[in-house]
Amino acid sequence: MNGVPDAPLTSYWQVKGGLIAHNTLIDCASPFDIGFGAGGRGRTLPPTGMRIAANLVKTTGKEEIVVRDASANVEWAENVWAGEGEPGIGGFFRRELAFTKGRLLSSPDTYTSLNIPVGESSVMNDIDGQLRKGGVAGSDVGADTPVRHTPPTPRSVGPEWMR
């Protein structure tokens, strides 16, 4: 999203030095929308110093990456594009992957296709709390070590009286 110059706390601030790394995006209408709101409500400051790296994007062919402000300073690196269509932007490896739909999450049938040269070193653990040991795109490394984090359940979140 673009920011507003001299924005008050209740307005849109410019994104500076953001990192979007090791996410898994499946069948999103628009996996990434850079510079959303450009020009509207005084939003004239594009994102700057952004890095979008080591993400897994699975598509059905209708999805696309949207860049609304060409002046946005975004580095795209080591992302994996799976499924139909094309990303339309550099910084992606094209891979063929099958996914299994789970109760809450879908996961790739194999993790070897998610290997990338380096990965984002500042992201130390995956979504399960397992240590990242090298370059694997997406939120899960598919490790055999014990899972440290699990998705929330109705019993683990919310006020005590609602459980």
How do residues 139-158 score in pLDDT, each as one tens digit? 888 888 888 888 788 788 88
From the list 52, 49, 127, the residue with the least C-alpha distance to 87 is 52
pTM of the model as a whole:
0.84
| pLDDT at position 23 over 90 | yes
State the residue for tokens 């094209």. 94
Q: Which two tokens stand for residue 110?
A: 């194999």
**Residue 97: helix, strand or coil by DSSP?**
coil
Which residues, other chains included, contact 60 with Cβ-Cβ below 8 Å and sequence gap of 6+? Answer: 27, 83, 84, 85
Q: Would you give the end-to-end CA distance of the chain in angstroms?
A: 37
| pLDDT at position 63 over 80 | no
* Proportion of the chain in helix, strand, coil states, percent, rounded to 5: 5, 30, 65
- For 128-140, what is each residue's pLDDT tens digit? 899 988 788 988 8
Strongest mean pLDDT among 27-31, 84-88, 91-95 = 91-95
State the residue for tokens 């952004």. 50
Query: 145 pairs with which residues across the strands?
Result: none
